[in-house]
Structure 1
Amino acid sequence: MDFTDQRLSYEKGVLDQQSIPASPFELLKGWISDATEQQVQEPYAMSLATCGADNKPSVRIVLMREITETGVVFYTNYESAKGQDIAENPNAEVLFFWHELERQIRISGSIAKIDADKSAMYFQKRPHDSQVGAWVSQPQSGEVVNREVMEQTFDQLQTDYPENTQVPTPEFWGGYEITINEIEFWQGRANRMHDRIVYTRSTDSDNGRNNVASWNTKRLLP
C-alpha cells in the first residue's frame, strides 16, 4: 500500500504565542473542552509511551480521568507491562490527537501512583461489569489459553459478586499521575507551517517555604 500521494492541508486553527495563558493547564482544559464540544469520540483518550529497563519503548491508548493542579491521571493494572515499565523508569509521555480539530498535545513528565483511597473511590464509581473485568485481567498482558477461560472467570466472578453488591478494589489496580514537566501544543497549519508552542516547568522558591511552579514558553519550528 502506497500513501505517498495522500495528504491534507490543515487550515482549521491558529495558535498565537502572544495570546496564550501563563499556565498550560488553562490551555489544556480549553482544548479538551473544545474537543468535547465538537463531539470528538473519547477526547480524553491518550497514547501513553513508557520505557523500562530493557530500553524498549512501548505505547498504548489509555483514558485520562482527571486533570489535577500538576498533571493528568489515568488508571490501570499495576502489574501490567506498562506498570512494570513505570516501576523501572518513572518517566513517560502521553499524546492527545484530535484529527477533527487538527490539534495534538504532547505531555512529558514523571509518573507515580496516586493515593490508594482515591483509586478505590474511582474504582467504586465504575460500572459493575468493569469492576469485575478488572479482576479477570490479572495479570494483565499475561497469556491465556483461549477466550473461553476469560469468560468462565468473568461468569464466576459475576456469581461471586452479583449486581448491586460491592466488588472489592484490587490491590494490583489503581491510578497514576503524570506530573507535567513539559507540554507541547500543536496546531496544524497550511503548507506544513504548523504552530508549535512548548511550556517548560521551572520551580521557584517562595522564601524557602513552598515550591511554586512557573512556566517558560517557546515556539518550535514545524
Structure 2
Amino acid sequence: MGANRYAELRENYRQGGLLESEALGDPIAQFHRWFDEVLAQGVLEANAMSLATASAAGVPDVRIVLLKALDARGFCFFTNYESRKGRELAENPQAALCFHWKEFERQVRAAGTVEKLSTSESAAYFTQRPRASQIGAWASAQSQVIAGRETLEAARRHYEQEFVDQLVPMPPFWGGYLLRPIEFEFWQGRPGRLHDRLHYHRRSDNTWQIQRLSP
C-alpha cells in the first residue's frame, strides 16, 4: 500500500442501525442491552474501554482499562491511585470513556465526573481478584520508572514471601473509581459513512434528553 496504507484502509458498515424509536430512554439500560448482545456473541474483553483523563493544566492522556461494574450511579474501574491516571483524576476529576465493539460496528462514549469508591466497595472487589493479581497490585509502582524487568520480578517475589500462607490485604494506594455520566453517545455504523449517533444528556432533574447528531 505504500505511503497511503492508512488512507486505503476502510470498511463499509452494514450490520444495522439505531433509530430513536428503538433506543431506550435510559442510556444505562441501553448500554446493558448492547453489552448483553456483545457478550452473547462471545466477544473477548467486551468490557475493555478507553479512559481519557487530563491534568490540571489540561494535558490529555488515554489508555485502555476494564469496566468492572455498571449500576445506576455509573461506571466502575480499579487502579493504583498513584498511577498517572490516579494523579490526573486527583487534579481534575473529570473523564471520558469509549467502548468499541468492531464485531457489531458500534461504539459507546460517556463522560462525567469521577470519584473514588468507598474502601469497602474496593475491598469487596479486591478479594475477588486472583491471588497473582493481588500480589501484582503491591509489586507494581504503576507508571513509575524502574530499572528493568528484574525490578518488577523482585518486587513480586518479595510480596509473595511477605504474604505467604495468608490472605493478601488490599494496598492502601489501590482502589476503585466511579464515573458518574452526564452524557452518552451511542454510535452505530451505517453504509456510506452516514452513521447513526444518538446523544443522551442528563437534565437537571436527572432525566435524559435524546438528540440525533449528524455523522
Q: Please confirm whether the aligned pair reaches a TM-score higher than 0.5, indicating the same fold.
A: yes
Gap regions ≥5 residues in structure 1: 205-212
- In structure 1, what is the Cα distance between the partners aligned to 2:69 and 2:133? 18
- In structure 2, what is the Cα distance between the partners aligned to 1:79 and 1:5? 41
* Equivalent residue number for residue 175 of structure 2: 174
Bigger CA drift: 58-67 or 151-160?
151-160
Question: 2:134 pairs with 131, 136, 142, which one?
Answer: 131
Alignment of structure 1 residues 1-222 onto 2, 5 Å: 1=3, 2-138=5-141, 140-162=142-164, 165-204=166-205, 213-222=206-215
- In structure 2, what is the Cα distance between the partners aligned to 1:124 and 1:15? 39
User: How far 1:5 sits from its partner (Å)?
Assistant: 1.9
Gap regions ≥5 residues in structure 2: none
- In structure 2, what is the Cα distance between the partners aligned to 1:4 and 1:169? 47
Name the SS for the 1:125 alignment partner: coil
Report runs of 4+ in structure 1 exceeding 3 Å deviation.
none
User: How far 1:73 sits from its partner (Å)?
Assistant: 0.3
User: CA offsets, 1:143-191, max 9 Å, x none?
Assistant: 11011111011012111223x6211111110000000100000000000
- In structure 1, what is the Cα distance between the partners aligned to 2:181 and 2:173? 25
User: How far 1:54 sits from its partner (Å)?
Assistant: 2.7
TM-score (norm 2): 0.96
Name the SS for the 1:105 alignment partner: strand
TM-score (norm 1): 0.93
Q: How many residues align?
A: 212
CA RMSD of aligned residues (A): 1.0
- Give aligned-pair identity as a percent: 42
- In structure 2, what is the Cα distance between the partners aligned to 1:23 and 1:110? 18
User: How far 1:12 sits from its partner (Å)?
Assistant: 0.4
